[in-house]
Structure 1
């Protein structure tokens, strides 16, 4: 009995699938902005744009760290809890000024990221298990330090200016977001660290045999993820004027969604920092449009429906990504 080999995909189909993988999310964002501009009067106003950028800067920073983690083939489920803990630490230190609060919160979050990295790299515990344990530990620390209540930030020493201030109408937090992504893109494209990240995600054992510093790179990746989650926590506390120990629930899923929407493969070894930023903006724009629709009275969706929509959107994107990945292969 003979079997007929599967037909080869045509070069045109392969090229189309590759283009959709690279630029599909950017096209989707452009179409969504065009739709919003045509449908809503205040959609492209400076106020709405700055609000979207300021609010989504927290998710963007976490997604940036998650991009590097996923490119190694790992996952970090602790980022939401780490951000909540950082927000509490920042609020507690805010009476001493912005810089002590900023560095103290980021240092605490970086320490937790370091612990994640050391356990994953040297004790060989799966990232899912390690970061799940850290999720619970960080949440417990946040609740303990805050006595299970919001911690008011100090408004007299410039701390809240970080999350609420702007330069020329551009929020400080948006400047931090774009600056972080610019550094991330340069690091991935032009440094040995970026090449090592992709190599480890492609084949960790082969990377080790080639003499690449696998363990050190993995530790650095989770340190980076923790530090960026800590920075997101500082923004959370400074934007809302309080440390929020119960905030951050589901932030890790939002970050994963943005990374996957941007085209980074969950299996590792391939990804784009710039596309993750577009994915963050796309998700933020979707919920911004839903808010406009709520305001028009066209629909009436509670905040809980955002999680439902986010989950459904992530599932659809993963299915499309899987289809495009198959279509891009000869």
Structure 2
């Protein structure tokens, strides 16, 4: 009987963190439902899902990057660049805006992958350079101002409309996560991603296509950041060249909160989604709390809270990893 019960116990610090984020998310939802009158109202739920779909998408791409032991600091700037490209192309047709934003993100992701795999530049430096380049390019294309989208081409449907009573951006994010889960958990290539995170040199000795896999992972991250930028432009009616600041930190925090080690080798798509929803829910609760008048936190405090939250999670994760190793 004891052996049966032990089979359900967490087998690693990552498993414990994944269970923890699910419990924390459920507890926060329960707290909000009991404390605030309209917390579970259709308006708040749909608004929450519509807005946070962008962050969920970049968190998914970041999860795959971190699982390989890398990092992508460019996702926020890439999303801003993609939003500008989408806005500029939206007068031609909705699919031109959609394709343009996705291709812009994919192009930066591919460049990151080539620089990292072919030129052997560390991911931190490569993606930092890409972040600066994407940010500058977005400002140049937009002439340092917001770029209005076309409302006549149907482009705004992507970010503002619903399908079957569910926000279209949330459907997009859900589809991306389902595909990401199938890839990571049910495909040979997904196992290659995990193996590279365990040790790139060892994976190469095993005959795995390390460079090709890494190129695909960074391209995937760029593509999802581009898709997030499309939703940004469509949802707010304008390409935002100065938006995306700190998005990479939100993505990293979501992945780490979901139990993925920054050293790579393990990770969960579902727990990453839970981490993104948990961080979004924290700020949703703070907004409701501001409405009650008990506290009054400006938007700038969100960055402070986000940074402290990430620091606490990383410290706890390090403690759990050290304890499981002993």
**SS of equivalent to 2:319:** helix
| Ranges in structure 2 where 5+ consecutive residues have no aligned partner | 1-6
Distance between the aligned counterparts of 2:91 and 2:136, measured in 1? Answer: 24
Report the TM-score, using the length of structure 2 for normalisation: 0.95
Matched, 1:208 2:204: yes
Is 1:225 matched up with 2:221?
Answer: yes
In 2, the alpha carbon distance for the partners of 1:134 and 1:70 equals 17
1:110 counterpart = 2:106: yes
User: Cα deviations across residues 206-260 of structure 1 (Å, max 9, x unaligned)?
Assistant: 1111110000001000000000000000000000000000000010000000000
Cα distance between partner residues in 1 of 2:87 and 2:9 = 54
Q: Is the 8 A contact 1:46 1:169 kept in 2?
A: no
* 2: CA distance, partners of 1:75 / 1:103: 25
Q: Secondary structure at the match of 2:156?
A: helix
Contact map agreement 1:198 1:268 (CA 8 A) in 2:
yes
**What is the distance in 2 between the residues matched to 1:58 and 1:78?**
15
Q: Distance in 2 between matches of 1:22 and 1:154?
A: 42
Q: Distance in 1 between the 2:62 and 2:158 partners? A: 23
Structure 1 contact 18–328 (Cα < 8 Å) conserved: no
The change in CA–CA distance for 1:103 and 1:304 in structure 2 (over 3 A counts) is same
Moved over 3 A (4+): 11-19
Whether 1:148 and 2:129 are equivalent positions in the alignment is no
The Cα of 1:54 is off from its aligned counterpart by: 0.7
Q: What is aligned with 1:306?
A: 302
User: 2:193 corresponds to which residue?
Assistant: 197
Give the Cα separation in 2 of the matches to 1:188 and 1:238.
Answer: 30
Verify the 8 A CA contact 2:13 2:317 in the aligned structure 1. no
Question: In the comparison of the two structures, how many residue pairs are matched?
Answer: 321
User: 1 CA distance for matches of 2:72 and 2:14?
Assistant: 28
Does residue 319 (structure 1) correspond to residue 301 (structure 2)? The answer is: no
